[in-house]
Amino acid sequence: MIVKHTNRTAILAKLRKKVEANIPILIASAGSGLVASLLEKAGADCVNTFSGARLRANGMGTMSMMWPILDSNRQTLDYTREDIMPAIKGDTFICACLNANDPLKDMRMVLNECKAMGVYSASNIGPSISYVDKDSEIYRVLTKSGITLDNEIEMLKLAKEMDMVSIGLAFDMEDSIRIMEEAQPDIFCFHAGTTKGGLKGYDSGETLEQTAARTEEAYQILRKIKPDVLMIAHGAGLVYPKDGQYIIDNTSCDGIWTGSSTERIPIEKAVYAAAKEFADLRRQTK
């Protein structure tokens, strides 16, 4: 099996062509080869791989990646190479979401390993210090020990230097502005919060309208810093296609990023419904 490879120039040209044609970009996460192949077939422009998606595919919540139970980068590299790359044709590009705060790895080595397997894009979400509330004791302890946004910014800068597409991600304006000013990513995703819905989703109580308003507020500020950045929306109230349509209609986003919405939630529904039909079969009485 030989999968088509791409490059930074081709990826960005394809994405900008879609934006110019007023067609939203679709970025989607996959924790298994089956999901990746279906996403590609459906027309996803980018498939993200990260430890949270891998754990999600095993029935755990995405945030289980925050618990120190695994080498997140090694898991991402291994399943991307063994499960994802052989499952796709190469019509979509793969973005590896990496832990830039890995104390055991030189991120240049990690990015080189990504490129060797045909992954020409990297993001700072796998996981990110941005997940942790800034006013918490754990945030202060982590940053004191060297787990910082600085490392994520440096990785995004290095990815661009290595001719990869960089996808920056943050959860609040402070981190968003820092990433935009210092890393100058090709694509930026304002992460509005953990996706609600399904068995493992978390509902913060935020409405779709509030998600859209917060997202657009971020875009207005960030585009002044880097006007040519591609803006992607994700999370919180954005769960179903109708929610995605609302976000597209009510923000200036260039596209959306789905995780649980095109992976965990539909799998939960479809597998349960099919299995329940079989489980409910009974012998016909004579």
Interval 266-284: pLDDT, tens: 998 999 999 999 999 999 8
Query: What gap in Å lies between CA 285 and CA 208, rounded to an integer?
Result: 50
Non-local CB neighbours of 93 within 8 Å, separated by 6+ positions: 6, 11, 45, 46, 47, 120, 121, 165
Q: Which domains does the chain have, with CATH numbers?
A: 8-279 (3.20.20.70)
Structure confidence at residue 54 (pLDDT): 79
The amino acid sitting at 42 is: A
Residue-wise DSSP of 21-32: TT--EEEEE-SS
Q: Quick: pLDDT tens for 93-142.
A: 999 999 999 999 999 999 999 999 999 999 998 889 988 999 999 999 99
Structure tokens belonging to residue 231: 């803006």
**In this predicted model, what pLDDT tens digit does every residue of 30-49 receive, in sequence order?**
999 999 999 999 999 999 99
251 vs 63: which has the higher pLDDT: 251
CB 96 within 8 A of CB 117: no
Residue positions counted in the chain: 286
Count of Cβ atoms closer than 10 Å to residue 181 Cβ: 12
Please name the residue ranges forming H helices in 81-236: 107-117, 137-144, 149-161, 173-178, 208-225
pLDDT tens digit string along 161-212? 999 999 999 999 999 999 999 999 999 999 887 665 665 555 566 789 999 9
Reply yes or no on whether the pLDDT at 19 is more than 80.
yes
